[in-house]
Chain A
């Protein structure tokens, strides 16, 4: 048994100096080892490998041949890649702001006492637990052009069918709708948790001063929630850029390429009939670089805003 080596000053959280006692460093690395081993072997290793594959002509398991910048130059001239990039950007623009804002709106709506509030909250949370696969299958059931529920309802109302699957823009809409359905509950949970930390007196004081409820919300509460909003925008941004399951199952990128996203394209190139591992990896690596850059940009903006 080692003697206690930690002086009180050393245990302070997030200290500026990073050197603890050698014993503590040993314990720390020991505790981190299982984690780092798993991340290193199953994530960092494959990621580095994917980077290498982007510069190879590789169409089967085993060794590929180095091909320099061939994949990258093909990428820049590839219309489908640019289409997938555009689609991913459109999808992100359609899901992130709306998803976060609706989450905030619902959190504010359901934060105050209301009969049956618990039931309402549970209903909005529930999609979180439903898997993306089930969400997508239900999406198919709702938006199926011939036997789907939504067109059935429209028909019952005497309205014309809507071509959710054969029209590109409408197909994109259906994917966006199902994504929002599955995500808003998460934003709401996080916002509700954050709202519990907002001092009720802040709100009351503002209301006594004669400010109207909406103004209090906008000028006082929303700015106080800034760190939460930052977190949610970042997470939603990453999720949207990585969108796969919903598209893969609901539209498989179609009709044509109108819902093809970067990840579904990378997957199709690698695992689809093309079996072009090198090119699939190139698309993926470019996507990774884009997400990384966006994340850093967001982090820097946040740091500047907080300074």
Chain B
């Protein structure tokens, strides 16, 4: 394929991929009336901040933002620690039952969340967690994907480094903490990014378990707005933009680590 042709295809693909995001941004700044009268358009030429001021005026947007940040950060921290430990054990330590554990963990990948939601909700309710952030954090902290990612990374981790630490008198756990973790930065970066992303974007489970609008996270509130603001695309897109912006910025800055992490972790 000649270079100009390849270039033309790239531009076309980029245009198609960017269109939905462009639509979100444009409509977030388009006045409500203009959408109702003339339909949503990418080139209406009417610009306004009213959708945003409306949101901030009516709703505790900053609070939702803070909640989302808190819940996603706590889940991420817990999940990275738990999956790092487990992934290392599955990759480097030898014990009876190792392959069974791996199989069971991978098996959980095929469980659709919505299927276990009812019993999960009953469980969380019995534990008295409904209406608390823990109801959201604990069930999502251990992810099969994160554990698998860590295992794949550690399989390639040089044994000599661990052995050297052991010869120096470190226990398994000490060697892990002092030698292994500091050398697993790309893995930690990609696990952090993936866990944070998943939790930040989750809406259904938090909607069911948090109950109190004061506890909502941005995406949960977004879902609520969609039902409340029927057809007010301006307001909905303004909120959608606000809830996506942190991740988009984070991703653009950390993209290099993300791609490097994925290629080094061996999910391919």
Question: Which residues does chain B contribute within 8 Å of A114, judged by CB atoms?
Answer: 3, 6-7, 10
Asked if residues A134 and B222 are in contact (CB atoms below 8 Å), the reply is yes
Asked if residues B112 and A244 are in contact (CB atoms below 8 Å), the reply is yes
Residue of B whose beta carbon sits closest to that of A34? B82
Stretch at the interface among B47-55, B58-66, B89-97: B89-97
The CA-CA distance from A215 to B18 in the complex, in Å, is 31
The one of A11, A23, A151, A244 in contact with B114, judged by C-beta atoms closer than 8 angstroms, is A244
Question: Which residues does chain A contribute within 8 Å of B69, judged by CB atoms?
Answer: none
Question: Which residues does chain A contribute within 8 Å of B147, judged by CB atoms?
Answer: 35
A32 in the interface (beta carbon within 8 A): yes
Query: With contacts A4-B167, A110-B10, A126-B251 known, is A133 near B222, CB below 8 A?
Result: yes
CB contact list, B138-184 vs A, under 8 A: 138-139, 141-142, 144, 147, 155, 159, 162-163, 166-167, 169-174, 176
Asked if residues A141 and B24 are in contact (CB atoms below 8 Å), the reply is yes
The one of A46, A117, A128, A138 in contact with B119, judged by C-beta atoms closer than 8 angstroms, is A46
Stretch at the interface among A12-20, A74-82, A91-99, A202-210: A12-20
Could you tell me the distance in whole angstroms from the C-beta of B175 to the nearest C-beta in chain A?
Answer: 9
Question: Which residues does chain B contribute within 8 Å of A47, judged by CB atoms?
Answer: 108, 111, 115-116, 119
B237 in the interface (beta carbon within 8 A): yes
Question: Which residues does chain A contribute within 8 Å of B119, judged by CB atoms?
Answer: 45-47, 49-50, 53, 281
A280 in the interface (beta carbon within 8 A): yes
Asked if residues A24 and B95 are in contact (CB atoms below 8 Å), the reply is yes
Asked if residues A38 and B142 are in contact (CB atoms below 8 Å), the reply is yes
Asked if residues B85 and A32 are in contact (CB atoms below 8 Å), the reply is yes
Question: Which residues does chain A contribute within 8 Å of B219, judged by CB atoms?
Answer: 131, 133-134
Question: Which residues does chain A contribute within 8 Å of B105, judged by CB atoms?
Answer: 35, 39
Question: Which residues does chain A contribute within 8 Å of B86, judged by CB atoms?
Answer: 31-32, 34-36
The one of B104, B114, B248 in contact with A263, judged by C-beta atoms closer than 8 angstroms, is B114
Asked if residues A120 and B14 are in contact (CB atoms below 8 Å), the reply is yes
The one of A2, A4, A263, A277 in contact with B112, judged by C-beta atoms closer than 8 angstroms, is A263
Residue of B whose beta carbon sits closest to that of A62? B122
Query: With contacts A13-B91, A131-B200, A134-B244 known, is A126 near B21, CB below 8 A?
Result: yes
Question: Which residues does chain B contribute within 8 Å of A106, judged by CB atoms?
Answer: 13
Asked if residues B118 and A141 are in contact (CB atoms below 8 Å), the reply is no
Question: Which residues does chain B contribute within 8 Å of A288, judged by CB atoms?
Answer: 110-112, 115
Could you tell me the distance in whole angstroms from the C-beta of A268 to the nearest C-beta in chain B?
Answer: 10
Asked if residues B120 and A42 are in contact (CB atoms below 8 Å), the reply is yes
Query: With contacts A41-B123, A46-B120 known, is A126 near B17, CB below 8 A?
Result: yes
Question: Which residues does chain B contribute within 8 Å of A68, judged by CB atoms?
Answer: none
A201 in the interface (beta carbon within 8 A): no
Asked if residues A39 and B108 are in contact (CB atoms below 8 Å), the reply is yes
Asked if residues B233 and A147 are in contact (CB atoms below 8 Å), the reply is yes
Asked if residues B259 and A129 are in contact (CB atoms below 8 Å), the reply is no
Most buried by A among B10, B91, B118, B204: B118
Would you give the 0/1 interface string for B54-86, flagging 1 where the beta carbon is closer than 8 Å to chain A?
000000000000000000000000000111011
Question: Which residues does chain A contribute within 8 Å of B116, judged by CB atoms?
Answer: 43, 46-47, 49-50, 284
The one of A41, A190, A245 in contact with B267, judged by C-beta atoms closer than 8 angstroms, is A190
Asked if residues A190 and B268 are in contact (CB atoms below 8 Å), the reply is yes
A256 in the interface (beta carbon within 8 A): no
Asked if residues B92 and A13 are in contact (CB atoms below 8 Å), the reply is yes
A231 in the interface (beta carbon within 8 A): yes
Would you give the 0/1 interface string for B30-56, flagging 1 where the beta carbon is closer than 8 Å to chain A?
000001100111100000000000000
Asked if residues B35 and A189 are in contact (CB atoms below 8 Å), the reply is no
The one of B125, B166, B201 in contact with A133, judged by C-beta atoms closer than 8 angstroms, is B201
The 10 closest A-B pairs by CB, nearest first: A284-B115, A131-B201, A193-B263, A20-B94, A49-B119, A38-B142, A25-B95, A35-B86, A46-B119, A28-B93
Other than the given A1-B174, A25-B93, A141-B24, 6 more pairs (CB < 8 A) read A1-B171, A49-B116, A109-B13, A125-B251, A191-B268, A287-B115
Which residues in B have some Cβ–Cβ distance to A below 8 Å?
1, 3, 6-7, 9-10, 13-14, 17-21, 23-24, 27, 35-36, 39-42, 81-83, 85-86, 88-99, 101, 104-105, 107-120, 122-123, 125, 138-139, 141-142, 144, 147, 155, 159, 162-163, 166-167, 169-174, 176, 197, 200-201, 203-204, 208, 219, 222-223, 226, 231, 233, 236-237, 240, 243-244, 247-248, 250-252, 255, 258-259, 262-263, 267-268
Q: List 17 A-B contacts (CB under 8 A).
A: A4-B169, A6-B166, A18-B94, A29-B95, A31-B172, A36-B86, A44-B108, A49-B116, A109-B6, A114-B6, A131-B247, A146-B39, A153-B42, A181-B17, A193-B263, A270-B117, A292-B107
